[in-house]
Chains A and B, each alone.
Chain A
Amino acid sequence: MSERNPHITQLADHLFRREAGKMVAVLTRLFGTENLQMAEDVVQDTLLLAFNSWPDKGIPSNPTAWLYKVAKNKAIDKLRHNRHSLNTDPDDFSETHDQALPDITGMWKQELLEDDMLRMMFACCHPKIPKENQITLILKTLCGFSTIEIAKAFLIPEDTVSKRLYRTKEFFRSEKIKLGIPSVNELKKRTDVVLNAIYLLFNEGYNSTQSEYLIRKDLMDEAMLLCQLLIQNKNTQQPETYALMALMCFHASRSESRLSTEGEIILLSRQDRTRWDGRLITQGNHLMNQAAFGDTVSPYHLEAAIAFEHCTANSFDTTNWKRILGYYDWLCRIAPSPFTAINRAVALMQVDGPQAALTALQDIPGTEKFYLYHAILGEIYIRLHDFASARISLEGAISLTRAAAEKKILQEKLAAVLN
């Protein structure tokens, strides 16, 4: 029936979600971070007005402009109405805000909007805010997710999400965090925190802990959009920024081939490489070249380099595993973590065989609680024809993952071992 109204299809691409983030960012600049809730309320009211009038009156010819205009008018009302309750000196207010009122119109220009999003991102990633709260706030304010959606994405109670948001807003209120791009000597450190949040967001999308959907493309898309903003701004376009974007492009290029139509995992060795998105791989390459200036090699550079090897190999067997192992060795030196070491063991298995991988894996401390450790251990035992040990490892892995698709593929392996 949608062909009856051509505007409906035009609106299908997350218009509300995209614009909500931008509007919150602009309004937060206007109201101050201490009034973030007010900014969110204005945006919600604006969307609700669209909801109530568009079905009957028809969609305006420029829906985005319509939303901005309504939000702007609501903001002006709020400022007039709340001038005494806002955390602003009333005398100061009449001078600054009343003069600022006509300027509210100018705040909605596209290039300013992007800067506002960037400022908001830095505020969300304030070093004094715990990492999980940073990501929660980014998803809520900039990506337009509800508390329920965030709770589902991270498999945590909705109450926990609300508490995180509440604490962060309290922090904004008490510390009166100013919106802005950090000063030059602070910029590198602050940008690193933002990049880390984007990386975590992407990773959650890439391998979602959510039980039903292994790939949450939404989260991956949001992470890439946010990183794109950092790339466009000359203050934040560091080598690491390009490297992170490249790494996301490479991994995102394989999204379509990672799951079957039934939602089952397709292992890398069996993926249809013709379905990998060549456009994203080319874009990733281009970004890698841009990431190569300066003298820093960040973990993002190395992870992107590893992903590049996979994306450009003709088949699983002709993949340059030796080079990948080299990158993992490097990665383990500059960013040691049990996960890096576990993944390195897989590359080692391809280069030096399962026995070498087993020895390496058993040397990694504190891995017992990671499902991936047991899953890979299971695979190694299978290749060593030690099926009794394989069974124990696979059962351990199954008990540790909550993702249904992961459970399924492990169970299939287990069934093969038992036969």
Chain B
Amino acid sequence: MKEYMLLFRGGLDFTTASPELLQQSMMKWMTWMDGLKADGTYLSGERLTQQGAVLSGPEKQLTDGPYAEGKEIVAGFIAIKANDLQQAIEIAKGCPIFEYDGSTEVQEIAKMR
């Protein structure tokens, strides 16, 4: 078994989403995550706030670059277990974020030894 990180970008616009839409979306996430937890796929996960910064270059310059576009913000991540990338992708396909104009990035977690 390998470990994979699913990164969620975009999705529902929380500032304008109606209570109804928020609830619907939340219930879909909950159903999906409950499924992952039930079959042991889920390892851990957090949602991210919309504040953040990026340090880059030798000067370690602080920018808010990737966070400027609301749609491109990483909304959260979860770590899952899967046999291979293909299976991880299949699992990611069930994510409700696609219904809300979002995207998911699947990355294998390289274990530090």
User: Which residues on A are within 8 Å of B, measured CB to CB?
Assistant: 1-2, 4-5, 8, 11-12, 14-17, 19-20, 43-44, 47-48, 50-52, 54-56, 59, 144-149
Contact = CB atoms under 8 A, between A and B. Distances in A.
Contact of A146 (B17, B29, B35, B38): B17
Interface in B23-56: 23, 25-27, 29-35, 38, 45-47
A4 B51 CA distance: 33
A11 B18 contact: no
A379 to B, nearest CB: 38
A17 B47 CA distance: 23
17 contacts: A1-B32, A1-B34, A8-B30, A11-B23, A14-B20, A16-B20, A16-B22, A17-B20, A20-B19, A51-B22, A51-B25, A54-B26, A55-B33, A56-B45, A144-B19, A146-B16, A146-B21
B31 to A, nearest CB: 5
B61 interface: no
A146 to B, nearest CB: 3
Contact of A8 (B14, B16, B25, B27): B27
A52 B47 contact: yes
B34 A17 contact: no
Contacts of A20: 19
Contact of A11 (B21, B27, B32, B46): B27
Interface of B: 14-23, 25-27, 29-35, 38, 45-47
A220 to B, nearest CB: 16
Closest 5 CB pairs of A and B: A146-B18, A16-B19, A16-B23, A20-B19, A144-B19
Contacts of A16: 19-20, 22-23
A17 B27 contact: no
A54 B29 CA distance: 10
Kindly name the residue among A2, A43, A51 whose own CB sees the greatest number of chain B CB atoms within 10 A.
Answer: A51
Kindly name the residue among B20, B31, B38 whose own CB sees the greatest number of chain A CB atoms within 10 A.
Answer: B20
B92 to A, nearest CB: 16
Contact of A147 (B16, B23, B25): B16
Nearest to B27: A8
User: Do most interface residues of chain B lie in helix, strand or loop, or is the interface mixed?
Assistant: helix
B77 to A, nearest CB: 12
A146 B9 CA distance: 23
Nearest to A52: B47
Given A8-B31, A48-B14, 12 more contacts: A4-B31, A8-B30, A16-B22, A17-B20, A19-B19, A20-B19, A47-B19, A55-B26, A56-B46, A59-B30, A144-B20, A147-B16
Contact of A48 (B22, B29, B32, B33): B22
A142 B82 CA distance: 46
Contacts of B22: 16, 47-48, 51
A14 B23 CA distance: 8
B26 A51 contact: yes
Contacts of A145: 18, 20
A2 B34 CA distance: 8
A144 B18 contact: yes
B34 A5 contact: yes
A347 B27 CA distance: 48
B23 A15 contact: yes
Contacts of B45: 56
Contacts of B32: 1
Contacts of A19: 19
Contacts of A144: 18-20
B8 to A, nearest CB: 12
Contacts of A43: 19
Nearest to B26: A51
Contact of B30 (A14, A55, A148): A55
A297 to B, nearest CB: 38
Contacts of B31: 1-2, 4-5, 8
